[in-house]
Structure 1
Amino acid sequence: MKFSINRTELQTALGVVAKGAASRSTLPILSGILLKASHDTLTLEATDLNLSIRCALPAFIEEEGQTVIPSKLITDVVKSLPDAAVHVDANDESAKILCETSAFSLKSLNAEDFPGFPDVDPESSISIPFATFSRMVKRVARVVSRDESRPILTGVLVEAEDGVLRMVATDSYRLAVTDTDFTADSEGFKAVIAGTFLSDLAALAPNEDNITLSLAENQIVATYSGTTFVNRKIEGTYPRYQQLIPDQYKTRAKFDTKQLTEAVKRTSLLSNRTAPVKFDLNSASNTTQVSTVSQDIGEARETIASEIEGEDTDISFNFSYVLDGLSSVETDAVYLELQGPMRQGIFKSEEEERYLYLVMPMRVS
């Protein structure tokens, strides 16, 4: 196999495909990347048997063929090369990589031992502008659980129905929901997709292409910009999150998003896991006091303007949970809706953004 390719394009493709290679496996072949040269295309593949990634990019092919090179090794080598054409000459035993005055000879693995790429027959698909997809994922993915004992909570619920595309994530302490109008043909699309997988997709280089998500019996297929990702769906029934969202409130406060975020950040300098940030809402003065008292450290408080309707109340939250939610609010104003000091609090962006973030309160002695 012999081919030449632009170093920057090869490095970018390797950076994407390498996420599919196994970092810990008893099978050495799974830690490698398959390079396949055919016609005028170089195809890269990697798999850990759960996630498979394939990327095709144009290259000057002198001799067709295929080989497998350890993922970390080839990624590090290409990253270190000067920005010039890269020439690769490989067989089943070694791969020679040349770029200007640099030359490497790497041990390769037999491509015949590399697992075949999954052959998936999609049942339904949705196509989303990448910018929209990325923004929605980033709003909810940080809320997924890291507890592998409840796999369903490590995923994001993605569903398209009644002209709306929705993404939902929860770790049982907080819940994030984001919606957007969606007029595609594929109504009834519904799947729970690993949050880490979606986050990797959302971090891809943006362009004008759509990203397509397709469902098979037990797999999710994502295609974007010449790259195909195949990952296992998370099986199980997603929690009935709608029951957690009340349709009314006893207190509602409107804040300047930036002002509230900065107040929580300053107050949290003296906070910790056992000293939450407290919100004390006063409707007579239309102010909210954000405060914390931390034993052996000290206390902090800040009073900010807020438009309050309903009852006076106070409630305490984990400050990092609050900041996670506020960081996803893109409107100038944010609303906090409360049922009482020991009921869930709901942060909402202004209507056009259609973002909701529910967080459970902390008990203060």
Structure 2
Amino acid sequence: MTAPTSVLTFDVGKTGCRAALWTGGVRAAEAEGPGPVGLAGAGGTRAALEAMSATAAGLPGGPASPATVVAGLAGLLSAPQQAAPLLDGLAARFPGARVVVTSDAVTSHAGALSGRPGVVLAAGTGTSAVGLGVDGVLHLVDGWGYLLGDAGSGYTIGRAGIEAALREDDGRGGSAALLRRLVARWGVPREVPRLVHGADNPARVVAGFARDVFDAAREGDPHAGRICTDAAADLADAVAAAARRAGLGTSPVVAVTGGLLGAGPVLAGPFDLALAERLPGVARQEPDDDALAGAHLLATRPDLPHHGASSTRDPRPTDAPPETP
């Protein structure tokens, strides 16, 4: 299948929304904006559609009239009932376009390994691991959202850091280093609950404190170091479980997306050690490309097994000729 004339792809996370416009198979323009709180919450679908519309409007020259729109959204695998209203909303915003919606974990996997078998860990504000076996079946581990899961995520690291700071403020044996950073960021500790609970996106606010945890760990704070080590173990557990469920053995190809390991050795070091303990023959590689490229693959590669975890609406007749560049 040749590349459609124009493909619009979205990567919708809990803290950010990215869009890319592809022309003739080439990424011609990109834009970025804030992300919605999450699909499972009240008004989550509307917020996601508004985030995508606003981000697409920021593309140089606008999104024009894409032939295909593919959106990967955080939380969709856990809230599949939202696929239909998302398809409706995107079809209304982009009349005549073929629309595909799926999880951002699926588009991340497709982009990171170019559709090949292996495990892709998406580690950012939330976390999920997707394993794809040689049988073409996708297996999702975690991705339960910040209230129920997302072990090892930026949110859980930030929350653990905030808790350690507040325990220190109470005199319950927390971390003085993290308390200093919390005060520098937000002021009086007793004001922090109001700031977090009153935020439009509490998970994003809490995850932001992960940067302070990493800084404290780099400076040798033992409590911050333990938070990083615990998070690394949780991330490695998710990868190992995804590899096991996908039947990939102890030597799978693994790629990590999402930016969390960008914290450097304080997190990547213990993660690699924990991963080698669980999967002795693991081969961790840099991602081939990002979730926007994975979404483009879904638009142009009908043979990808990732379509099994996607929903599609195509206004064209079934006997329509294939799109050409």
Q: What TM-score do you get using the length of structure 2 for normalisation?
A: 0.23
- Higher normalized contact order (CA 8 Å, seq sep 6+, divided by chain length): 2
Please identify which structure carries the higher strand content.
Answer: 1
Please identify which structure carries the higher helix content.
Answer: 2
Specify the structure having the higher radius of gyration (Cα). Answer: 1
